[in-house]
A and B are shown apart, each in its own frame.
Chain A
Amino acid sequence: MNLFGQRRPNRKELARVKSWATELLDLGPDDSLTANELACDKPDCPPHETVILIARSGEATVQAKVPKPAVEIDRSDLQRALEKKGLIPQ
């Protein structure tokens, strides 16, 4: 939480993460996805984490996390996070 020097995540960067996730997960028009950056200054936490919630139609919502701000995430980071959660085959 950094109210005044708050680094607002770039919508474009989060949208890019979401478009990769849509592609990797092969989401359809009835599925939904959210992406958000959580900031934390506790020593045992990554300072920024990008959290993705996947709400497929008719299925329970699942969460995948990449311990980086959206701006630093590349496609392979996301792929690993989704694989780790068993959401896509390794």
Chain B
Amino acid sequence: MNSIATPKIPVTVLTGFLGSGKTTLLNRILTEQHGQKIAVIENEFGEVGIDNDLVIDAEEEIFEMNNGCICCTVRGDLIRILGQLMRRKDRFDHILIETTGLADPGPVIQTFFVDEEMQDHLDLDGVVTMVDAGHILLHLDESSEAQEQIAFADVIILNKIDLVDSAQLDGLEKRIRRLNAAARIHRVENASVPVPEVVGVGGFDMTRGLEIDPDLLVPGYPFEWLGVYELEPGRHSLVFDQDPDPSVDVLVLPVDSATDEAVDRRLREATIAFSDRTEPLGADDSIRPDGHLASVELVSGGTSAVLGIEREGAYAVFTEHGAGELGLQLLSADGQLVRPAVDRQIAPDHEHDDTVSSVGIEADGELDPERLNEWLGTLLREKGQDIFRSKGVLAIAGMDERYVFQGVHMLMDGQSDRPWGSDERTNRLIFIGRNLDRDELEGSFNSCLT
């Protein structure tokens, strides 16, 4: 490996279960004219042999590097292969590493963090995870590897979408989004994702903005669902087909318009209302849009509660459980189904018990560098095994520039970025990992604010 000034070779890591379409994608990348020479490091047990002189077979060699508190698993075979590739780097523009179907992508990624000289020559571009839309739910329920492959991804290619209908696809994407709120998702058939969406994704580029699903930044609201309806005056019905609990708390508030923005302005009020004492709804009572929390008794076989509206307008309905879980529908006074103009799941459905999740934190203000340092250091040392990826843009007291960081398990790298200038100094972070406790993370992070 020689001087620092030579351009870096970007490296993409491609993960995905057997049958997800990785080989189809690899074949396309190797045969399509996209103007790039891509060297492929393929695991020895590839699904289909690919005949190409830019394909190198690798035999997965997991190696644990550690001292007393940093434990980092790397791929010994990749150290060897990448070292050899660096000696003939004029022959290709990009390296793509395919992992075995059941692999945890962690060791592959961490390999790029164990040598500064390697980082001078290679640029880890991103982790791309192929997902078979027809079978991934089964894999997610049965295997932690499938959850981890999604958790590590910068780009998720939802392949074979022709095998499921659009409602299933929406549900699947929602579940993926909860595991990893920061990845870009592409829906494709036959692995037909444009090559530039796979190579050149910039997932580890710390200067790029942090893309987090805004829903993941929502603090722990006491309600799990909200819907905004346009309603005429009259006695409407909230119908609950399911009874997950003996009762459910419901709040209805008027909003300026049936839009996300309008309901966002009432979230604080709704949160406070949910902390009030509930008023059990009597048999002759109706729910009113007056800011009082109503407790509706749920009975098996279905429950109907009257929603009394006096003035035409937009109204937000907040429920303690998800609308799906409650089998909730709103029927107008004349019995017609009214669909919500805004339909927002606030907290995850309880139907899946994924141990992997994303925790996004957003907080205005400045951070005390010493407290932050102590917090992040302790967090990564004690929970690093469970934190797959971490990313953040931070406002540090006394620093004019944004501080950006990226981490994989216990390894972390950070640097000053561009000046904040006239932008509001705010902190945005995301942790993607196993058994993450949002309240604990949020609380301990907030204690670092000045």
Contacts and interface: CB of A to CB of B under 8 A. Distances in A.
The 4 closest A-B pairs by CB, nearest first: A61-B76, A32-B83, A34-B115, A45-B68
Interface of A: 1-6, 9, 11, 14-15, 18, 29-36, 38-42, 44-46, 49, 51, 53, 55-57, 60-61, 63, 65
23 contacts: A1-B377, A6-B414, A11-B4, A29-B87, A30-B80, A30-B84, A33-B83, A34-B79, A34-B118, A36-B115, A38-B67, A39-B70, A40-B70, A40-B381, A45-B68, A46-B67, A55-B76, A55-B79, A60-B61, A61-B63, A61-B80, A63-B63, A65-B67
A3 B414 contact: yes
A56 B113 CA distance: 19
B65 interface: yes
Contacts of A57: 80
Contacts of A38: 67, 70
B82 interface: yes
A40 B69 contact: yes
Given A32-B82, A32-B84, A60 B373 contact: no
A66 to B, nearest CB: 11
Contacts of A1: 373, 376-377, 380-381, 412
B380 to A, nearest CB: 6
Contacts of A63: 63, 65
Contacts of A53: 63, 65, 74, 76, 79, 114-115
Given A29-B87, A30-B84, A32-B84, A60 B76 contact: yes
B76 A3 contact: no
Contacts of B113: 36
B103 interface: no
A3 B63 contact: no
B68 A42 contact: yes
A4, A29, A30, A35: residue with the most chain B Cβ atoms closer than 10 Å:
A4
A41 B69 CA distance: 9
Contact of A14 (B63, B74, B116, B372): B116
Contacts of B77: 55
Nearest to B375: A3
Nearest to A8: B116
B369 interface: yes
A11 B65 contact: no
Interface in B77-96: 77, 79-80, 82-84, 87
A31 B80 CA distance: 6
B117 interface: yes
Given A30-B80, A45-B67, 19 more contacts: A2-B373, A2-B377, A3-B369, A4-B369, A11-B116, A31-B80, A32-B79, A33-B83, A34-B118, A38-B67, A38-B70, A39-B70, A51-B65, A51-B67, A53-B79, A55-B77, A55-B79, A56-B80, A61-B63
Contacts of B343: none
B65 A3 contact: no
A44 B79 contact: no
B315 interface: no
Contacts of A32: 79-80, 82-84
A18 B114 CA distance: 13
Contact of A36 (B83, B116, B381): B116
Contacts of A33: 83
A60 B114 CA distance: 17
B405 interface: yes
